[in-house]
Structure 1
Amino acid sequence: MSTDVAQSEGWYQVRLTLPWVVPGAPGVQDAINIAVAEVGRRADASAVRSANISVQDVACPSCSWEMEAVLCTHGYAMVVLDITVVIEASSVDESTTLVKRELGSRMKDIPLTVVDSIPVDDIEDSSVSFAELGLPAGNRQETTEPSTSSNIHKSGS
């Protein structure tokens, strides 16, 4: 590998959405737990540095009430998951291609839809400390440093 390519490599955060079918789920929460565990197990076996998995929220078109995107029927459930992974690549396009290749090979016949991809260095640390929750917005201290590895869940290597 040339040194020019190695120097241009960086970490990218890629967010995807995917449906996961859970056969034999006795209830909604069980279906969510099974789907998150199964996708997490497969993501840990890939070359991604970390994975953050959550259930996608959808809003009711009439009342705007937000709820988890889970459909549970007799014997089957479908859970729509948001998965955010961090992977090393040389560009945004390459990061999405690598993530789809890494996760797609472990999730056969599952449509992986890329929502966005951004360099990790461009991510703002928007966390607010618990001590600042009661303060008016003008009195809070804003952080301008990029997020550090402490905010990223390290998967087993």
Structure 2
Amino acid sequence: MNKHATHAEDWYQVRLTLPWVVPGAPGVQDAINIAVAEVGRRADASAVHSADISVQDVACPSCSWEMEAVLCTHGYAMVVLDITVEIEASSVDESTTLVKRELGSRMKDIPLTVLDSIAVDDIEDSSVSFAKLGLPAENRPEATDRSSSRNTTKSGR
């Protein structure tokens, strides 16, 4: 039984960041749409599951204002994307290796930087059940002290 447990494969969630160059993008939102669609198409063709793609946010060093990491110039745009995928592997190290192999073979000359990898079983269940969706936020079991303090602040105005 222990022999079977050592060869068991678990699901891991791996988060990566990658820059994507979009030639001929007429605007920032078009560049974002093209980059997300292209990376999504290539991720769908690989062995990874449930690819979640978003534009990376960066903060201004002087004022801390957060903005999307997109640089748009005449004729080219570069969009920095965060992609979170799930893959079946036997360890954290193997999960990052497999993801880089699967995505890297479909994205030639694109630097893939792994930000983190965690077993799917270790991720806290933050999903909301459909039965709780109709309840007001303060009546939901997962409501925190922070959300109730926001309610008191709003009622104090």
TM-score normalized with structure 1 length: 0.81
Question: Which residue of the partner structure matches residue 101 of structure 2?
Answer: 101
Q: How does 1:53-132 map to 2 (within 5 A)?
A: 53-127=53-127, 131=134
Q: Report the Cα offset of residue 4 of structure 1.
A: 2.6
Contact 1:5 1:90 in 2 (8 A): no
The answer to whether the aligner puts 1:34 opposite 2:34 as a matched pair is yes
Q: Percent identity?
A: 85
Q: Report the Cα offset of residue 50 of structure 1.
A: 1.5
Question: Deviations along 1:68-126, whole A, 9 cap, x unmatched?
Answer: 00000000000000000000000000000000000000000000000000000111122
Does the C-alpha gap of structure 1 residues 63 and 98 become closer, same or farther in structure 2, counting only changes over 3 Å? same
Unmatched segments (≥5 aa) in structure 2: 144-157
Q: Distance in 2 between matches of 1:130 and 1:18?
A: 35
Does the C-alpha gap of structure 1 residues 74 and 84 become closer, same or farther in structure 2, counting only changes over 3 Å? same
Unmatched segments (≥5 aa) in structure 1: 144-157
Does the C-alpha gap of structure 1 residues 132 and 77 become closer, same or farther in structure 2, counting only changes over 3 Å? farther
Q: Distance in 1 between matches of 2:67 and 2:42?
A: 26
Q: Distance in 1 between matches of 2:136 and 2:91?
A: 37
Paired positions, count: 138
SS at match of 1:77: strand
Normalized per residue, which structure has more helix?
2
- Computed over aligned residues only, the root mean square deviation of the Cα atoms, in angstroms, reads 2.0
Q: Distance in 2 between matches of 1:73 and 1:27?
A: 9
Contact 1:16 1:83 in 2 (8 A): yes
TM-score normalized with structure 2 length: 0.81
Structure whose alpha-carbon radius of gyration is higher: 2
Question: Which residue of the partner structure matches residue 8 of structure 1?
Answer: 8
Q: Distance in 2 between matches of 1:130 and 1:56?
A: 29
Q: Distance in 1 between matches of 2:21 and 2:53?
A: 15
SS at match of 2:17: strand
